[in-house]
C-alpha cells in the first residue's frame, strides 16, 4: 500500500483530505507544520508528499527544497490560487507537480496516483538499465564529457558530479542516452511528468533552462541542449 504524507496546518481540511484518500486505498499520515513534515518524511519514507504552500512555521516551497536536497520522494505542492510565476518557481525549487485551487478531491487523488506510478516506472527503468549495463559500478560513459551512474543516480561532467534534482537527473539521462534525437516538448512531459494530463510545455522549458545553467558554458547560447525550432529539443554531444 502506498503511503502519502500530507503537510497542512489546517486540521479540518487535512482531515477531509485524509478521509478521502484513505477511501481510495492509500495509507495517509499527516503533519501540521514544516518542521513536523520534514521529520515525518524522513522517518516514514512515504511514497509521496503533499504540501500546502502556506504553513504555520514557513512556506511549503522551502520544505519542498529541504526534502529534495536529501530525498527523491515525489512532491505535490498545493497553491491557493493559480500564479504562473509562483508555479514556475515552485517547480524550479524541486516540486514534481503543482495543483492550484479550485480543484476537486478526485483530481487530487488522481494526480497522487499518477505521480507515484510514474516514480515507480522510473525506478524500474533505472533498475533495468543498471542490469543492462552489466557494470560493477553501475556506470555508463555516454561520451567523453558525461558519465551516468544509474545506481547512485549521479551524473558527472568532466569528472565532477552535477547537483541535480530527481527530475533533472531523469531528463538529462534521457538526452544522454539518445544523442542527436529530437524530443518534442509534449513527449518529454509525458515521459517525465504525467501522461494522463495535458502536458504543460512551460514545465519542460523550466527544466531545460535549469539544466542549461548547470552544463552549458554559456546557457544563453546553448551548444549541447539545443532547441530544434518547431520540433523540440535534442542533445548535441560536444
Nearest of 233, 213, 99, 227 to residue 164 by alpha carbon: 213
Q: What percent of the chain has pLDDT over 70?
A: 87
- Per-residue pLDDT of 42-99, as tens digits, reads 888 899 999 999 999 989 999 998 888 777 889 999 988 777 888 888 888 888 899 9
Question: Do the domains spanning 3-117 and 135-235 agree at the CATH topology level?
Answer: no
| pLDDT at position 196 | 47
Calpha distance 25→45 (Å, rounded)? 18
| pLDDT at position 128 | 56
- Per-residue pLDDT of 46-60, as tens digits, reads 999 999 999 999 899
Helices (H), 193-235: 201-215
Question: Are 168 and 211 within 8 A, CB to CB?
Answer: yes
For 149, counting Cβ atoms within 10 Å of its Cβ (0-12 exposed, 13-18 middle, 19+ buried), the class is: middle
Q: Are strands 75-79 and 97-100 parallel, antiparallel or unpaired?
A: parallel
Q: Which of residues 150 and 77 earns the better pLDDT score?
A: 77
Q: Which of residues 148 and 138 earns the better pLDDT score?
A: 148
| pLDDT at position 36 | 94
| pLDDT at position 125 | 62
Average pLDDT over the chain reads 84
Tell me phi and psi for residue 125, to 5 degrees: -65, -45
- C-alpha torsion sign, points 90, 174, 112, 68: negative
Instruction: Break the chain into its structural domains and give their ranges.
Output: 3-117, 135-235
For 170, counting Cβ atoms within 10 Å of its Cβ (0-12 exposed, 13-18 middle, 19+ buried), the class is: buried
Reduced to 3 states (helix: H, G, I; strand: E, B; else coil), residue 22 is: helix
- Per-residue pLDDT of 199-217, as tens digits, reads 566 788 888 999 999 999 9
Q: Which of residues 35 and 149 earns the better pLDDT score?
A: 35
| pLDDT at position 134 | 43
At 17, the pLDDT band (50, 70, 90 cuts) reads very high
| pLDDT at position 197 | 47
Nearest of 85, 81, 84, 77 to residue 49 by alpha carbon: 77
| pLDDT at position 225 | 93
Nearest of 218, 91, 232, 77 to residue 165 by alpha carbon: 91
Read off the pLDDT of each residue in 156-168 and give the average, rounded to a whole number: 88
Read off the pLDDT of each residue in 216-228 and give the average, rounded to a whole number: 90
CATH fold of 3-117, please? Rossmann fold (3.40.50)
Q: What is the CATH number of domain 135-235?
A: 1.10.10.10
Calpha distance 93→218 (Å, rounded)? 22
| pLDDT at position 139 | 46
Question: Are 189 and 205 within 8 A, CB to CB?
Answer: no
- Neighbouring CB atoms inside 10 A of 179's CB total 14
Nearest of 49, 17, 56 to residue 35 by alpha carbon: 56
Read off the pLDDT of each residue in 218-230 and give the average, rounded to a whole number: 88
| pLDDT at position 135 | 44
Amino acid at each position: 500500500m502506498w503511503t502519502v504524507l500530507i503537510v497542512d496546518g489546517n486540521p479540518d481540511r487535512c482531515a477531509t483530505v485524509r478521509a478521502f484518500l484513505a477511501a481510495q486505498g492509500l495509507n495517509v499520515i499527516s503533519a501540521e507544520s514544516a518542521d513536523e513534515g520534514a521529520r515525518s518524511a524522513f522517518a516514514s519514507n512515504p511514497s509521496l508528499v503533499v504540501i500546502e504552500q502556506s504553513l504555520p512555521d514557513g512556506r511549503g516551497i522551502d520544505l519542498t527544497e529541504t526534502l529534495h536536497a536529501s530525498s527523491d520522494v515525489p512532491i505535490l505542492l498545493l497553491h491557493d490560487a493559480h500564479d504562473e510565476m509562483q508555479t514556475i518557481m515552485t517547480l524550479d525549487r524541486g516540486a514534481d507537480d503543482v495543483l492550484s485551487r479550485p480543484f476537486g478531491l478526485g483530481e487530487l487523488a488522481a494526480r497522487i496516483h499518477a505521480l507515484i506510478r510514474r516514480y515507480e516506472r522510473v525506478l524500474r527503468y533505472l533498475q533495468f538499465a543498471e542490469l543492462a549495463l552489466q557494470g560493477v559500478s553501475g556506470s555508463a560513459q555516454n561520451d567523453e564529457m558525461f558519465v551516468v551512474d544509474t545506481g547512485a543516480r549521479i551524473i558527472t561532467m568532466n569528472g565532477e558530479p552535477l547537483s541535480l534534482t530527481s527530475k533533472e537527473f531523469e531528463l538529462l539521462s534521457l538526452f544522454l542516452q539518445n544523442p542527436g534525437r529530437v524530443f518534442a516538448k509534449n513527449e518529454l512531459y509525458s515521459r517525465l511528468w504525467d501522461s494522463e494530463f495535458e502536458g504543460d510545455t512551460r514545465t519542460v522549458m523550466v527544466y531545460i533552462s535549469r539544466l542549461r545553467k548547470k552544463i552549458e558554458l554559456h546557457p544563453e547560447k546553448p551548444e549541447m541542449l539545443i532547441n530544434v525550432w518547431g520540433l523540440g529539443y535534442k542533445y548535441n554531444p560536444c
